[in-house]
Amino acid sequence: MNQFFQNLFLPPQASTHAKTVDDVFIFVTWVNIVFFLIVTFAAVYFSIKYKRRHANERTPHITHNLSLELFWSIIPLFVVMIIFFWGFQSYMVGRVAPNDSFEVQATAKKWLWAFEYPDGTRSINELHVPFGRPVRVVLSSEDVLHAFFLKDFRVKSDVLPNRYTEVWFEATKPGEYVLQCTEYCGKDHSNMRGKVFVDSKADYDKFIANGPADWATMPPTELGKMTYEQAGCVSCHSIDGTKGQGPSWKGIYGQTHQFVDGSSQVVDENYIRESIENPQAKILKGFEGIMPTYQGLLREKQINGIIAYIKSLK
């Protein structure tokens, strides 16, 4: 019977926390069934048994009965107090993330979810976490309120623009789970959906090495543009020829760069790659050597993407 309620009302249990929540849910279901049957049975039974048979029927004048009234006030009071304490206790279990949790930063904005991993990797609308570890997701919003809801994990938290909130979970099996926004946020609220992939160790390493799955199908110039915007290149390098902290990328491919030490080189693939991984090696005339190295922060695919993107900026 419990399994029947479980299947009728609740989504699959996919986190260690889900069972503690569902146990309370099932208990309340039983309480409700008992009380509902009492109320319905009494209403129907009395309606039939005490149906008016003739117009002048007399009824007993019963005004109250103290012990009966105490009985039906105190019993429910005990029942609801059990539900209260149990609900609060299981809530606290779901609130306190274990110390060794794997931590991910999630940022919500109309109408997408952006995730940042401990090694600096980023992904949009898909969250990859390693199986077998508790995961703590720290949430913040860039605009209005959103809410982070993983139904199969029984976790939810509002996402606020001015304060960090968090959820944590530990999945009980690897797989793909749906993430939904549950705080109304405007036009595409119902499309603000993401996926959570609980990966095996091998799959997770593959994700970190190769990036999100959609990179595989993304044209290199587009991936390069995304990296240019997300990895911070945009703050120093313009794409329209304006001089910033660093040289603009517009039309530089194929040009000859003069360096501060007097040497020069044609901008080609190898030169761009070197400038990303070891920017201090060659400093362009008129600029300072302030760029940090991106070695290890960008994946192979992203570097190739940036090269393709620079080529496309004519």
Partner 1 sequence: MANATTTTAQTSIGTAPPPHLNYLTENNTLKAWLTTVDHKRLGLMYLGAVMSFFFIAGALALLLRLELLTPKQDFMDSATYNKVFTLHGAIMVFLFIIPSVPAALGNFVLPLMLGAKDVAFPRLNLASFYVYCTGAVMALAAIILGGVDTGWTFYTPYSTTTDGPVGLMAMAVFVLGFSSIFTGINFVATVHKLRAPGMGWFQLPLFVWGIYATALIQVLATPVLGITAVLMVMERAFHIGIFDARLGGDPVLFQHFFWFYSHPAVYIMILPGMAIISEIIPAFSKKTMFGYRAIAFSSVSIAFIGFLVWGHHMFTSGQSDLASAIFAFLTYLVAIPSGIKIWNWLATMYQGSIDMRTPMLYAMSFLILFAIGGLTGLYLGAISVDIHLHDTYFVVAHFHYVMMGGTVIAFIGGIHYWWPKMFGKMYNERLASIACWIVFIGFNVTFLNQFMMGSQGMPRRYWTYLPEFQRYHIGSTIGSWILGFGLVMAAGVLLASLRKKEYDAGDNPWGSRTMEWETISPPITHNFEGQPVLRHGPYDFRVEPTPATVAGGRH
**Residues 150-189, interacting with partner 1 (CB under 8 A):** 151-152, 154-158, 160-163, 165, 178, 180-189
Q: Provide the token pair at 263.
A: 């040497």
Any contact of residue 255 with partner 1 (CB under 8 A)? Answer: no
Q: ∠ CA 102-107-111 to the nearest 5 degrees?
A: 135
87-106 binders of partner 1 (CB under 8 A): 87-88, 90-95
Q: How many CA atoms lie within 13 A of 226 on its CB side?
A: 21
Which residue, 133, 302, 118, is CA-closest to 211?
302
Any contact of residue 69 with partner 1 (CB under 8 A)? Answer: yes
Residue number with CB closer to partner 1 (155 or 198): 155
**Burial tier of 288 (Cβ tally within 10 Å: 0-12, 13-18, 19+):** exposed
Rounded to 10 degrees, the C-alpha dihedral 96/100/102/104 comes to 50
Q: Provide the token pair at 200.
A: 């095996």
Beta carbon of residue 109, minimum distance to partner 1 (angstroms, whole number) = 13
Residue number with CB closer to partner 1 (44 or 209): 44
Near partner 1 by CB under 8 A, which window of 143-151, 201-209, 250-258, 277-285? 143-151
Beta carbon of residue 204, minimum distance to partner 1 (angstroms, whole number) = 25
Beta carbon of residue 126, minimum distance to partner 1 (angstroms, whole number) = 16
Q: Which residue has the tokens 């299981």?
A: 90
Any contact of residue 73 with partner 1 (CB under 8 A)? Answer: yes
Any contact of residue 30 with partner 1 (CB under 8 A)? Answer: no
Near partner 1 by CB under 8 A, which window of 2-10, 115-123, 130-138, 222-230? 2-10
User: For partner 1, how many residues bind (rule: CB under 8 A)?
Assistant: 81
Q: Provide the token pair at 5.
A: 């309620």
Any contact of residue 68 with partner 1 (CB under 8 A)? Answer: yes
How far, CA to CA in Å, does 1 sit from each of 14, 92, 310? 20, 28, 63
Beta carbon of residue 69, minimum distance to partner 1 (angstroms, whole number) = 6
Dihedral sign (CA 28, 150, 179, 184): positive
Do 182 and 113 form a contact (C-beta atoms < 8 A)? Answer: no
Beta carbon of residue 154, minimum distance to partner 1 (angstroms, whole number) = 5
Looking at 13, 16, 31, 125, which residue binds partner 1 (CB under 8 A)? Answer: 31
Residue number with CB closer to partner 1 (35 or 98): 35
Helices 18-49 and 2-9 cross at an angle (nearest 10°) of: 100
Residue number with CB closer to partner 1 (182 or 230): 182
Any contact of residue 20 with partner 1 (CB under 8 A)? Answer: yes
Spatial separation of the C-alpha atoms in residues 16 and 96, rounded to whole Å:
13
